[in-house]
Structures are given as C-alpha cells and as structure tokens.
Amino acid sequence: MGRRRRPRRVRFLVRVLIGVVLSTWLPTAAQAAFTDADAAPVAVGTYAVPAPASITGTFSCQNNRLSMSVTLTDFGAVHRATAYTVTLTAPNGQVTANSLPAGTRATTITRTSTTVGTYTLRVRASVGTWTGQNLERVLACP
Amino acid sequence: MARTATSARSSRIGLTSTSGKVLASVALLGVAASVAGLGTYGSFTSTTSASETVTAGTVDVQLGAAGTTANRLTVAATGVIPGDTIQRAATLTNAGNQNFGAVTLSTTAVGTPTLLTTDALNGLQVAVDACTVPWTETGTAPAYTYTCAGTTTTVLPTRPIIGTDIALTNLASITTAKADNLRVTATLPTTAGNTFQGLTSTVNLAFTATQRAATNR
C-alpha cells in the first residue's frame, strides 16, 4: 500500500508553473536599483483666432438691387492677425473676396447677383495658416 | 514444545515490532544527548567579534523650487500659435551622495489628451539643452527667453513631447552634488492646422535618475 502518486501530467504541469513563476520573478529581482524622480507640469494653451469685434462702413445697391457695394472704413483689429479676408456673398451664392494685409482695415467690395435678395458681408482674420471666426452682417437693399 | 516456544517469542520485544522501534529511538536519542552534552561541557571555547557598518547610498534628483528662476516649468504658456516656442529654465540637481548611472525623461499628458500631445508630427515638440552657467532670463512671464553666457550643450534633441524613459545626455548632474542649468523648449510646428486652435494640454515632465553601476566598496 504505497502512497498514491500524482499522475505524471499533473507533476509536469506543476513544474512548468513553478518555472514560469521563477523566470518572471528572478529577472525583476536582478534588475532592482535605486532610483529617484522629480517632476513638474508644463501647461500649454493655443490661441483661438477671434472674429473682429466691430465693423464700420456703408453700403449701396445698384442695378435694381442686382449689385451691392460695401465700403468698410474700419473693423476691430485681431491680436496677432497676419491678414484679413473680407467677403461679400450675393443672394445667388456667388462670392467676392478681398484679402487685406494685417495693417489694412479699410476696403471697398462689390458683388453682382442674378437674383434679388439679401447680401452677406463677412470679415475674418488669419494668423499664419489659422483662420478665425467670421464677423457677419446681413445687408438688404432698401 | 511448540506451544512453549511460541510463548517465549511473544514475551520478547524485537526490533521489527513497533514497540521495539520506539524504544530503540528513545535510547538512541538519549545516548546522543548525553554525548553532545559531554562534548559541550568538555570543550575549550573562545569567541571574538567585529562589527561592520554598511550605509546605503542615496539617489536623489531634484528640480529647483517651482516658480523661481530655478524652475519655470510650471509657468503656463497661453495663446500659442504655429511656430511659437516656449522656453522654460529649470535646475536639475544630484542631491544624493552617489553618482547617477543615467537620467531619463518621461512625459505624460495630464487629463484629457489633445492633438497637442497625441499628434506626434504636428503637435508639441520638445528639446532640452544645458548651459554651463545659469541661463540669463529675459522677458516677462510667461514669455521668457533665455541666453547662455557659457557653453550650451544638447541634452535632448527636438522630438515629440510625449515619450517614456527618454535618455538625456551631457548632464553634469550625473556626478553627485552637481547640477545642470536646463532650458526646456517646446515648439508648436508651423504645420499645426486650424484644428489646433483653442486647445490646452498639460504635460508632466518627470526626470528619473538611476543609481550608478555597482562597484566594490
């Protein structure tokens, strides 16, 4: 009546398990070293190009309201702007655009249309490759 | 005759029986204890002792006090546009009593990551250099700039700002009690498009020092 022996497969699996545990633990122990760290946070926020704050000028309609001219005398400067774009969109969707250098905030823009309706004036700033929000005005011929 | 012989065998305790084994073991232990005792009391003895003190070295890396000229890293940069650079000075000191084997930089985004940290190509880039003397700081917060009146060396060439265990080179603070005058420069590439507008990211810069190689002491 000898002791009952575990099946050979169980003993093999136990040995494999022990081997895996040791191979995982031993390198960790071997690589232990004194370390120390110090840290600091760096916060960075990017610019969001705003719309010009205000606009000053006049507009007039010609050719039985099928054309409009807008004369801008000034609009709010945008910090760090490298250029401005003024667009006038006709009732039929066609657009005229004027590009202005950063130091210029006055221009005259004209747009014709095949249909009668409201025109939309937009002014926006650019900062390098970034474009800002539009300052928008809807203009209706009297 | 046969019955008499059987009776005689049953009255003896043999070594093959359990009782016999127990008795034999007890006897053996008794003899061994007696001999051992005799040996203990019968020997000349002499004892000497010596003490050895072993003190572990310390690995201690420290950044300068936050907010001072010794550590401007915590000064936030705002209104950054493509092409902008953000310069911050920091002193890194070996405050332990052992040389370092190496110093690495690990950077992680704090909070919700943005394109500034997730876009390795168009997002923030970082570089670190060192000056043999403290950097000369000009400008007002947060737009600091720095010039070196001594010699400048590259500690970390320009690379994406997020990384783990990035090796730093040319550090004087590898040696105990030495310090480095570092300038950390973050840059937003000119290729960062409109989608980078209005983003905010905080990056934690962790400098980790590891002990020097083991030697005989």
Is A34 part of a structural domain of the chain?
no
- Average the pLDDT over A86-105 and give the result: 97
Rounded to whole angstroms, how far apart are CA atoms B63 and B95? 10
The model's confidence at residue B28, banded by pLDDT at 50, 70 and 90, is confident
Min distance B208 CA to chain A CA atoms (Å): 4
pLDDT(B11) > 70: no
Residue in this structure with the two tokens 């590439």, named with its chain if needed: B189
Residue A112: what pLDDT?
Answer: 96
Chain B's closest residue to A47, CA to CA, is B79
The verdict on B107 and B29 lying in the same domain is no
Range of the domain at A76: 55-140
The verdict on B178 and B73 lying in the same domain is yes
CA distances for B135 relative to A106, A113, B132, angstroms: 45, 62, 9
Min distance B210 CA to chain A CA atoms (Å): 4
The verdict on B98 and B180 lying in the same domain is yes
Residue A19: what pLDDT?
Answer: 67
Is A40 part of a structural domain of the chain?
no
The model's confidence at residue B5, banded by pLDDT at 50, 70 and 90, is very low
Task: Please report residues of B whose CB lies closer than 8 A to that of A128.
Answer: 81-83, 190
Q: Do B199 and A47 touch (CB under 8 A)?
A: no
Residue A85: what pLDDT?
Answer: 98
pLDDT(A10) > 80: no
The CATH number of the domain where A84 resides is what?
Answer: 2.60.40.10
pLDDT(A98) > 80: yes
Is A84 part of a structural domain of the chain?
yes
Range of the domain at B152: 61-211
Choose among A41, A80, A130: nearest Cβ to B204.
A41
Q: Where are the beta strands (DSSP E) in B119-178?
A: 125-131, 136-138, 145-147, 152-160, 163-167
**How many independent structural domains does chain B possess?**
2
- Average the pLDDT over B6-28 and give the result: 61
Q: Are the C-beta atoms of residues A113 and A61 closer than 8 Å to each other?
A: no
The verdict on B29 and B135 lying in the same domain is no
The verdict on B195 and B127 lying in the same domain is yes
CA distances for B66 relative to A40, A63, A67, B62, B176, angstroms: 8, 68, 62, 11, 22
The verdict on B143 and B202 lying in the same domain is yes
3-state helix, strand, coil in chain B (%, to 5): 20, 35, 45
Chain B's closest residue to A126, CA to CA, is B194
| Average pLDDT score over chain B | 89
Looking at the DSSP bridge assignments, the partners of residue B138 are B145
Q: Do B74 and A131 touch (CB under 8 A)?
A: no
Which of A31, A35, A38 has the highest number of chain B CBs within 10 A, making it the mutation to test binding with B? A38
Is B52 part of a structural domain of the chain?
no
Nearest C-alpha neighbor of B196 from the set B79, B86, B89: B79
Min distance A30 CA to chain B CA atoms (Å): 12
**How many independent structural domains does chain A possess?**
1
Is A16 part of a structural domain of the chain?
no
Min distance B57 CA to chain A CA atoms (Å): 9
User: Is the complex ipTM more than 0.85?
Assistant: no
SS3 A99: strand
Is A70 part of a structural domain of the chain?
yes
Q: Do A48 and B197 touch (CB under 8 A)?
A: yes
Is A17 part of a structural domain of the chain?
no
Residue A11: what pLDDT?
Answer: 74
Is B168 part of a structural domain of the chain?
yes
Which of A35, A42, A127 has the highest number of chain B CBs within 10 A, making it the mutation to test binding with B? A42
pLDDT(A1) > 50: no
Q: Do A38 and B62 touch (CB under 8 A)?
A: yes
Q: Do B199 and A45 touch (CB under 8 A)?
A: yes
The model's confidence at residue A87, banded by pLDDT at 50, 70 and 90, is very high
Is B216 part of a structural domain of the chain?
no
Is B50 part of a structural domain of the chain?
no
Min distance B80 CA to chain A CA atoms (Å): 4
Is B193 part of a structural domain of the chain?
yes
Is B146 part of a structural domain of the chain?
yes
Is A39 part of a structural domain of the chain?
no
| Average pLDDT score over chain A | 90
How many whole angstroms from its chain centre is CA A130? 8
Residue B32: what pLDDT?
Answer: 64
Q: Where does residue A51 fall: left (phi above 0), alpha (psi -120 to 50 degrees), or beta otherwise?
A: beta
Q: What is the pLDDT of residues A16-70, one digit of tens each?
A: 777 666 665 655 556 689 999 999 999 999 999 999 999 999 999 999 999 999 9
Residues of A with CB under 8 A from a CB of B: 33-49, 79-80, 127-131
The verdict on B96 and B138 lying in the same domain is yes
Tell whether the torsion through CA atoms of B19, B22, B28 and B32 is positive or negative.
negative
The verdict on B19 and B96 lying in the same domain is no
First vs last Cα of chain B: how many Å apart? 85
Is A42 part of a structural domain of the chain?
no
Task: Please report residues of B whose CB lies closer than 8 A to that of A49.
Answer: 197
